[in-house]
């Protein structure tokens, strides 16, 4: 069975490879390979360390059953991840013991990451903190603790995908400064970047904020823009749930996050974990 799964995974990699024909950043490839060489755990394990935006079932879990209007590149990335990732990592690795729960900051991750690594020993870990940090942390503490969390993962042999936080209503500039911290860390520590903040502003530069008066006819997560009516969480309007069209990616905040993480993780698999050529 393992051999059959490996062959299927390799086949997906070979078929998917031509779909990434554009220029790619390669700054993290060597670090990822060196990190993975130390890995002693179960291949295909993918942990998510974060706050309520991560523990939500709207993040990642729904990709298993709800995805429409994917282009060829996105569909290939999904097939690759499905073939190579352990099934329990879609939705079972949710909750505090797995490194994700509501109301938490990077301080919580800093205190607990060694425990998560011991329990899960993931091959890859996605890390996104920042939204709750905006209320009480300064950028220097956020940077220091994020660096140390990343380093502990790398020392464990776990490849890190580091994500920027989403923009937040009323705190856009501080959120931007925290996003810049994350980008600085990825460049200096040479780990992959998933730029959620940047993509939100790229796709909705003027009206990403669901608290704006123009969205008053829709409430909470149901607003037709990327950040929900509470100003902090990604949106999840029903008509664009799991819709990976360009319109869906600029209207549903959780769908956009799922897309960005999917593409980032698929790239790590393709370039480092399951290379199609020796």
- List, for residues 4-30, the tens digit of each pLDDT value: 444 344 333 333 333 323 335 789 999
Question: Cβ atoms within 10 A of the Cβ of 92, count?
Answer: 11
Calculate the alpha carbon distances from 101 to 35, 40, 52 in Å: 27, 27, 5
pLDDT value, residue 189: 98
pLDDT value, residue 138: 97
pLDDT value, residue 230: 98
Task: Report the mean per-residue pLDDT for the chain.
Answer: 92
pLDDT value, residue 114: 98
Full set of structural domains in the chain with CATH: 27-273 (3.40.50.1110)
Calculate the alpha carbon distances from 252 to 60, 129, 184, 190, 238 in Å: 14, 20, 27, 30, 9
Tokens for 246? 């360009």
pLDDT value, residue 20: 29
Phi, psi torsion values for 125, nearest 5 degrees: -130, 130
- Rounded to an integer, the average pLDDT of 142-155 is 98
pLDDT value, residue 2: 40
Calculate the alpha carbon distances from 136 to 171, 182, 266 in Å: 12, 17, 34
- Rounded to an integer, the average pLDDT of 252-277 is 92
pLDDT value, residue 276: 63
DSSP reduced 3-state for 125: strand
- Rounded to an integer, the average pLDDT of 208-235 is 97
Contact call for residues 44 and 234 (beta carbons, < 8 A): no
- What angle do helix axes 172-189 and 196-203 make, rounded to 10 degrees? 130
- The region of weakest confidence among 20-24, 194-198, 210-214 is 20-24
pLDDT value, residue 8: 43
d(CA 85, CA 90): 8
Q: What does the pLDDT look like over 57-96, one tens digit per residue? A: 999 999 999 999 999 999 999 999 999 999 999 999 999 9
d(CA 211, CA 169): 7
């Amino acid at each position: 069975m393992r051999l059959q799964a490996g062959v299927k995974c390799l086949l997906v990699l070979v078929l998917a490879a031509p779909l990434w024909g554009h220029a790619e950043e390669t700054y993290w490839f060597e670090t990822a390979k060196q990190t993975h060489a130390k890995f002693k755990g179960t291949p295909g394990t993918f942990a998510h360390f974060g706050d309520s935006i991560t523990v939500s079932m709207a993040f990642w879990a729904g990709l298993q059953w709800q995805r429409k209007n994917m282009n060829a590149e996105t569909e290939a990335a999904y097939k690759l991840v499905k073939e190579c990732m352990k099934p329990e990592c879609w939705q079972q690795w949710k909750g505090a013991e797995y490194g994700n729960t509501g109301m938490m900051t990077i301080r919580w991750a800093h205190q607990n990451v060694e425990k998560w690594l011991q329990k899960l020993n993931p091959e890859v870990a996605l890390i996104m903190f920042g939204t709750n940090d905006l209320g009480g942390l300064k950028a220097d503490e956020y940077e220091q603790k994020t660096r140390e969390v990343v380093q502990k993962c790398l020392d464990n042999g776990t490849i890190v995908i580091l994500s920027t936080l989403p923009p937040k209503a009323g705190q856009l500039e501080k959120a931007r400064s925290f996003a810049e911290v994350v980008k600085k860390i990825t460049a200096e520590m040479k780990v992959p970047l998933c730029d959620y903040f940047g993509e939100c502003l790229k796709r909705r530069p003027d009206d990403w904020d669901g608290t704006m008066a123009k969205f008053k006819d829709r409430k909470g997560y149901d607003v037709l823009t990327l950040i929900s009516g509470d100003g902090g969480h990604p949106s999840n309007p029903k008509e664009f749930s799991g819709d990976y069209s360009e319109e869906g990616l600029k209207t549903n905040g959780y769908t956009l996050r799922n897309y960005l993480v999917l593409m980032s993780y698929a790239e790590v698999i393709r370039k480092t974990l399951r290379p199609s050529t020796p």
